[in-house]
Amino acid sequence: MIIILKENADAAQFDALKDWLTKQNVTLHISEGIQQTIIGLIGDTSHIDLDIIKQFDIVDDVKRIQEPFKNANRKFHPLDTVVQVGSGGVKVGGGGFAVIAGPCSVESEEQIIGIAEAVKKSGANMLRGGAFKPRTSPYSFQGLRAEGLKLLLKAKKATGLPIVTELMDLSQLDLFADVDVIQIGARNMQNFELLKQIGKCDKPILLKRGLANTYQELLMSAEYIMASGNQNVILCERGIRTFETYTRNTLDISAIPALKTLSHLPVIIDPSHAAGIARFVAPLSLAAAAAGADGIIVEVHNNPSCALCDGAQSITPPVFDDLMEKIRHILPFRCQIKA
Amino acid sequence: MIIILKENADAAQFDALKDWLTKQNVTLHISEGIQQTIIGLIGDTSHIDLDIIKQFDIVDDVKRIQEPFKNANRKFHPLDTVVQVGSGGVKVGGGGFAVIAGPCSVESEEQIIGIAEAVKKSGANMLRGGAFKPRTSPYSFQGLRAEGLKLLLKAKKATGLPIVTELMDLSQLDLFADVDVIQIGARNMQNFELLKQIGKCDKPILLKRGLANTYQELLMSAEYIMASGNQNVILCERGIRTFETYTRNTLDISAIPALKTLSHLPVIIDPSHAAGIARFVAPLSLAAAAAGADGIIVEVHNNPSCALCDGAQSITPPVFDDLMEKIRHILPFRCQIKA
Amino acid sequence: MIIILKENADAAQFDALKDWLTKQNVTLHISEGIQQTIIGLIGDTSHIDLDIIKQFDIVDDVKRIQEPFKNANRKFHPLDTVVQVGSGGVKVGGGGFAVIAGPCSVESEEQIIGIAEAVKKSGANMLRGGAFKPRTSPYSFQGLRAEGLKLLLKAKKATGLPIVTELMDLSQLDLFADVDVIQIGARNMQNFELLKQIGKCDKPILLKRGLANTYQELLMSAEYIMASGNQNVILCERGIRTFETYTRNTLDISAIPALKTLSHLPVIIDPSHAAGIARFVAPLSLAAAAAGADGIIVEVHNNPSCALCDGAQSITPPVFDDLMEKIRHILPFRCQIKA
Amino acid sequence: MIIILKENADAAQFDALKDWLTKQNVTLHISEGIQQTIIGLIGDTSHIDLDIIKQFDIVDDVKRIQEPFKNANRKFHPLDTVVQVGSGGVKVGGGGFAVIAGPCSVESEEQIIGIAEAVKKSGANMLRGGAFKPRTSPYSFQGLRAEGLKLLLKAKKATGLPIVTELMDLSQLDLFADVDVIQIGARNMQNFELLKQIGKCDKPILLKRGLANTYQELLMSAEYIMASGNQNVILCERGIRTFETYTRNTLDISAIPALKTLSHLPVIIDPSHAAGIARFVAPLSLAAAAAGADGIIVEVHNNPSCALCDGAQSITPPVFDDLMEKIRHILPFRCQIKA
């Protein structure tokens, strides 16, 4: 961390600042220029609150050099984290390509088992399906909730696919005992109380990037989970909000090399929510595979015209099957991002 | 709502669509052009899920004409809502100008009572102060929490000022029994489970706009609260995320006329979090007053250099006093937005 | 186009509006509902100015159904445009994959010929190089200008590669007589006087998307060129400006399926300027190839540490060679977007 | 400027970097930490190209401390610049409040003189009106062009108001000999060739901020003009592009204190283009006055329903008159931003 002082900084305040900094367990390296004095902090600065330093009147600017996240930082953990999912040997990260597929919402036993069987046959290794649904409008379908979770577990039993589903509030946590991967949605990425609590369980967490959150903020949210003890975090880029409204959001494909440079955690892509357009799912999935993602999470529905939500962005099982075939051909030639 | 069909739409699918629409309690008005058929829906469409309509293969596009919010909509409630705060006659909306002031975080009894007395003397009519603090980093100060709430209540007792403080999670709700206004922070604006629950209490809710949320999404979140029974919602613009990084966020001053055109709910401005720069608080507060806001929520700290968080954006009591003086002169000439 | 009138619209004004609309050579289809009247315009509305309609007091809202671009619209030209470059048979669009490579700036004869030979050997089929450089600061290197163009032509002669370079102002046009593809940079995408003039020549134009421009605006700028007579337009996505600052801009990979759905023009990707980080060039290029782009334009420099501008985003010839090898393997399995 | 080196930086490269830096006429201050070496540059760094430094392999990051603009920088010119307009004593900056009003487009002699007389009577001190119009669509009205300029000059003669109008291309410059203030539109803010040339004349330049440009980029564009010799630059905030689409753009009201902190140049606000909604013009204008702007540029039209472009955002002379009355009351109590 570098602190730039204002010109002609008051000596007493300078002493007060040095005093405060020394208490933070860092070593100070002071460069007194003719016009400006610069303080370099040497040591671990991840715990230091930038805002407090800015409050000192004599401080002109503060710039971090070291990232403020530690558990999630590749600098301290150069090797890729490989997240183990369920008991059947499914892994995310470390060179493989995880494919999580399924409907936006669980609608019925027949629907979820039917889709689970179809996507498994095409090569998916996890099943997704929403039971608790975050919807912009209170008048929209809110998911089958507890009943939806039961149907997901039936589909897991029928196919052996581990299940991934979204937790919206801590009060629902007990219901998630047999869920394999807990998804934290984009709108909850900075629900810090929730992050702290799920950090106390040992299930893999699929953490989606918020619509207007930076890579660093996503990694700080992962840090909340990891600092509470749970190291099994899978990062997910699902589109950010920009001025372009033709697509629902803008898939930030650079998040793949960026997050994998900054962190050792696996990174997957959600092309369905990013675009909101079914025919864009295949090109964006292939782009993700080629760019080095550790997997994708894709909405597949046997009858998109009847889906209770987000049908417009779901692909059909035959389209998914064709996509999987192309992905298999691309994977050997994709980019691999390492430390 | 207007539905535009694809060219040469299949007749059977057209019938299926008409059938589904009729069940939604709306009347259809069909215009069959040479190339394109357009369906107009007449009646209340606020409960109709746009996404489901888009799933029909024959649908090219759907456009809302009526807004999807109802309780919050000025069209159905032309008169300004006036929110009553506490039992001392403080009001928000309807022509007055509410001033909520206080420190970012509650730090000690002496601090919070001292600031409360100072801001009251300058003309503030509510006290703010954070007990539970949402912080990007797990390593930053998280607030005094339950202890902070107790200190706020002491300051309320000492000064008579109603108190406004943030609720981060439903598990904290019982502690908020004596709080006058519950604040829902920007990061929780779309925490729908939380919105539903606080909609069941009858306290005023100060709902902050999310960093990347549209006016309509803010009003849909207000709708969640109102649909659960609580009509006492105060909207708050606190800056949105843009490409400009000189200020922490970009204060969207147009939110004042926009929200007051769309809704009857009061609209206040938070200049402190929007800019993140103490010397911008006065110009932005004056702008808010001139543009017709129903109030402001401002961070005031007796010793910004020692504040435990966000000191860089807090103004001192003398600066606040000067600001209040200017506001009083501007108010008679400000803009009034009506239906 | 659909026009939604305000409730209880004045009859005289309604007549005036109908009168004005009829003069625009469109047929009106009027649906008078109980509360609201809707006018549908049937026929070619691309020439109708939305803003003029909004000026009529009785108009509540106007929504386009038909896109406002015509020459660039795939609906009217379903087949892919194939742009012929130079006289050597190089093509962009229609199923191939064009690779334009070279340094950010032309620096010397040795440099440009050396790089041209290297990229040709690896499989590039066009040479890029900046002679006139748009720089944010007046104090930064502005390019070798006319001298740079001469060196590019020498490299063309030496290698046979057609050359692509940026035109910044009409006053430079005469110097571009032997340039094969004229590039219009992102900052000039809406320099409408420039677009009109280059629309009068018949050279291929590489039109870069502005940093904050929508797909529709990019296509409207293409329309300016095409309406002036030049149909040889190549669209280029080069990153948009978002809140994320880790990368210089955010590559909008969805622009590939989106632009190819909306238009018949070829679409290429510039991963170098989008990310501004050399090690992201390969993953983004592979993503572009997989998602169905018609080509890429990549910065390659034999000695990035000495480049006079943008060295930080240039890859070396060996990295480029390895990238080309991977692209060749991916192309057979990529996505193909058709009408 | 601070340069942070990678860990274990190669000694030969370190020497090469020091060598290059020394040639830039700055003094180096090197802090060798245990893990990381930091180089501080002391002296004028505004001419140093950040990108070149980033090219050195051993460089991890570079951060500017000093702003890269010099002529426009308040640090070097603490006193407000006051721009003299025309020969009649109109001034912009330095404590006054300039009001530029008039129609979006010049349409006829009667229209422009009529509006000029009306706005003068209400207190405007300059007349605006578009002759050359930048339009997104080639099929939209492009302005009366040379003929429009003639009509503006007639209105100037009739009322004595100095005129402000937009220059789109250098080829039009000769026609602007009698124009008082040349406007450079948002889309040309980074048309660097144009900036260089208009920097050679001595007329006041009204420079509008681009839709996606930062404060620093706006000031760098002012720097282009000033470095060419013309110090009479008026900055104009006219809304930036964000995710919110209810308003055409988002007025960044914080640009007033921000630009006036960074620069000594006057700052005015364009509420008409920012919002694109006529009824928002008054609240945004009052906000601008209260926040300390040096003036506003407002669209006023005697018959907005017939305006050939942008009528939807024009206010009528009576609304303008009422606005001017309110502004006069607010000005004595507004914020004044000083160095």
User: Exposure of C188 by Cβ count < 10 A (0-12 exposed, 13-18 middle, 19+ buried)?
Assistant: buried
CB B39 within 8 A of CB B9: no
Confidence of residue B41 (pLDDT cuts 50, 70, 90): confident
At residue D305, the pLDDT reads: 62
User: Phi/psi zone of residue B309: left (φ > 0), alpha (ψ -120 to 50 degrees), beta?
Assistant: beta
At residue A305, the pLDDT reads: 62
Pairing between strand A295-299 and D37-42? Answer: unpaired
Indicate if the pLDDT at residue A181 is higher than 70: yes
CB C250 within 8 A of CB C287: no
Tokens describing residue B153 = 């209540």
Indicate if the pLDDT at residue D306 is higher than 70: no
Check B330 against D335: CB less than 8 A apart: no
- In whole angstroms, give the CA distance from residue B223 to residue B233: 9
Chain D residues with CB-CB distance to A243 below 8 A: 212, 241-243
- In whole angstroms, give the CA distance from residue A88 to residue A14: 59
- In whole angstroms, give the CA distance from residue D26 to residue D2: 12
User: Exposure of D20 by Cβ count < 10 A (0-12 exposed, 13-18 middle, 19+ buried)?
Assistant: middle
User: Phi/psi zone of residue D25: left (φ > 0), alpha (ψ -120 to 50 degrees), beta?
Assistant: left
CB D220 within 8 A of CB D124: no
Confidence of residue D304 (pLDDT cuts 50, 70, 90): low
At residue D33, the pLDDT reads: 66
According to CATH, where is 3.30.70.1140 located in chain B?
2-63
CB B199 within 8 A of CB B224: yes
Which range, of A44-58, A124-138, B245-259, averages the lowest pLDDT?
A44-58
Residues C152-158, mean pLDDT to the nearest whole number: 98
Residue found under tokens 């806001």: B293
Tokens describing residue D259 = 């630009």
Three-state secondary-structure class, residue A170: helix
According to CATH, where is 3.20.20.70 located in chain D?
83-333
Residue B175 has a CB neighbour count (10 Å cut-off) of 17
Residue D314 has a CB neighbour count (10 Å cut-off) of 26
Indicate if the pLDDT at residue D291 is higher than 70: yes
Check C253 against A330: CB less than 8 A apart: no
| C204 against B29, higher pLDDT | C204
At residue D51, the pLDDT reads: 76
Q: What percent of chain B has pLDDT over 70?
A: 96
Three-state secondary-structure class, residue A61: strand
Check C42 against B34: CB less than 8 A apart: yes
Chain D residues with CB-CB distance to B291 below 8 A: 283-284, 286-287, 290
- Put simply, whether C166 touches D (Cβ < 8 Å) is no
> What's the gap in Å between the CA of C253 and the closest CA on chain A?
7
Check C258 against A251: CB less than 8 A apart: no
DSSP string, B288-306: HHHHT-SEEEEEB-S-GGG
- In whole angstroms, give the CA distance from residue B188 to residue A193: 11
Torsion over CA of C17, C19, C23 and C25, rounded to 10 degrees?
80
At residue A173, the pLDDT reads: 93
Three-state secondary-structure class, residue B121: helix
Residue found under tokens 């979770």: A149
Residues B157-185, mean pLDDT to the nearest whole number: 96
- In whole angstroms, give the CA distance from residue D177 to residue D158: 18
**Taking Cα atoms as reference points, which of D76, D134, D297 lies closest to residue D204?**
D297
Which range, of A177-181, B111-115, C165-169, D305-309, averages the lowest pLDDT?
D305-309
- Put simply, whether A109 touches B (Cβ < 8 Å) is no
Residues C66-76, mean pLDDT to the nearest whole number: 90
Indicate if the pLDDT at residue C309 is higher than 60: no
At residue A63, the pLDDT reads: 82
**Taking Cα atoms as reference points, which of A209, A212, A128 lies closest to residue A166?**
A128
**Taking Cα atoms as reference points, which of A222, A224, A228, A227 lies closest to residue A206?**
A222
Confidence of residue B153 (pLDDT cuts 50, 70, 90): very high
| D231 against A39, higher pLDDT | D231
**Taking Cα atoms as reference points, which of D76, D48, D85, D1 lies closest to residue D263?**
D76
Indicate if the pLDDT at residue B167 is higher than 70: yes
DSSP string, C260-277: HHHBSS-EEE-HHHHH--
Chain C residues with CB-CB distance to A277 below 8 A: 257
Residues A214-230, mean pLDDT to the nearest whole number: 97
At residue D311, the pLDDT reads: 64
CB A231 within 8 A of CB C229: no
At residue B305, the pLDDT reads: 62
Three-state secondary-structure class, residue A320: helix
Tell me the one-letter amino acid at B4: I
At residue D289, the pLDDT reads: 98
B78-128 tens-digit pLDDT: 999 999 999 999 999 999 999 999 999 999 999 999 999 999 999 999 999
> What's the gap in Å between the CA of C319 and the closest CA on chain A?
12
At residue D314, the pLDDT reads: 86
Q: Which residue of D has its CA nearest to A63?
A: D63
Q: Which residue of D has its CA nearest to A4?
A: D65
- Which stretches of C11-49 are DSSP H helices? 11-22
Domain C2-63: give its CATH code.
3.30.70.1140
Main-chain dihedrals φ then ψ at residue C263, nearest 5 degrees: -135, 160
Check D214 against B280: CB less than 8 A apart: no
Check A170 against B170: CB less than 8 A apart: yes
Pairing between strand A181-184 and A205-208? Answer: parallel
Q: Is the ipTM of this complex over 0.95?
A: no
Pairing between strand D126-128 and D98-102? Answer: parallel
Task: Dihedral sign for Cα B230, B234, B237, B238, please.
Answer: negative
Chains that touch D (3 or more CB pairs under 8 A): A, B, C
| C3 against B240, higher pLDDT | B240
At residue A13, the pLDDT reads: 86
**Taking Cα atoms as reference points, which of B176, B232, B224 lies closest to residue B205?**
B232
- In whole angstroms, give the CA distance from residue A165 to residue A102: 10
Indicate if the pLDDT at residue A304 is higher than 80: no
CB A214 within 8 A of CB C250: no
Residues A255-282, mean pLDDT to the nearest whole number: 96
Three-state secondary-structure class, residue D300: strand
Chain A residues with CB-CB distance to C337 below 8 A: 283
CB D143 within 8 A of CB D130: yes
Residues A209-235, mean pLDDT to the nearest whole number: 97
> What's the gap in Å between the CA of A288 and the closest CA on chain C?
6
> What's the gap in Å between the CA of A107 and the closest CA on chain C?
30
- In whole angstroms, give the CA distance from residue B311 to residue B301: 8
Q: Tell me the range of A323-332, C309-318, D299-308 where mean pLDDT is highest.
A: A323-332
**Strands across the sheet containing D27-32:** D27-32, D37-42, D2-5, D59-63
Question: Given C29, C61, C63, which is nearest B33 (Cβ)?
Answer: C29
Indicate if the pLDDT at residue C45 is higher than 70: yes
- In whole angstroms, give the CA distance from residue C197 to residue D170: 13
Residues D208-226, mean pLDDT to the nearest whole number: 97
Main-chain dihedrals φ then ψ at residue D127, nearest 5 degrees: -110, 130
Chain A residues with CB-CB distance to C284 below 8 A: 253-254, 257, 291
B176-227 tens-digit pLDDT: 999 999 999 999 999 999 999 999 999 999 999 999 999 999 999 999 999 9
Give the single-character DSSP code of B203. Answer: S
At residue B208, the pLDDT reads: 98
- In whole angstroms, give the CA distance from residue D226 to residue D224: 6
- Put simply, whether A250 touches B (Cβ < 8 Å) is no
- In whole angstroms, give the CA distance from residue C239 to residue D299: 34
D55-74 tens-digit pLDDT: 788 888 888 877 889 999 99
CA distances from A332 to A297, C1, C15, C330 (A): 20, 48, 66, 9
Tokens describing residue D95 = 């404590």
Q: What is the assigned CATH class of domain D83-333? A: alpha beta
Residues A159-170, mean pLDDT to the nearest whole number: 97
Confidence of residue C34 (pLDDT cuts 50, 70, 90): low
> What's the gap in Å between the CA of C331 and the closest CA on chain D?
32
Indicate if the pLDDT at residue C28 is higher than 90: no
D146-167 tens-digit pLDDT: 999 999 999 999 999 999 999 9
Pairing between strand D83-85 and D90-92? Answer: antiparallel
The upper half-sphere exposure of residue C244, i.e. CA atoms within 13 Å in the direction of its Cβ, equals 34
> What's the gap in Å between the CA of C286 and the closest CA on chain A?
5
- Mean pLDDT across chain C, nearest whole number? 92
Confidence of residue C303 (pLDDT cuts 50, 70, 90): confident
Strands, E, within chain D: which ranges? 2-5, 27-32, 37-42, 59-63, 83-85, 90-92, 98-102, 126-128, 163-166, 181-184, 205-208, 233-237, 267-269, 295-299
Q: Which residue of A has its CA nearest to B192?
A: A134
Residue found under tokens 């948002």: D186
Task: Dihedral sign for Cα A171, A172, A178, A184, please.
Answer: negative
Residue found under tokens 């946590």: A173
Indicate if the pLDDT at residue B309 is higher than 70: no
Indicate if the pLDDT at residue B238 is higher than 70: yes
- Put simply, whether B333 touches A (Cβ < 8 Å) is no
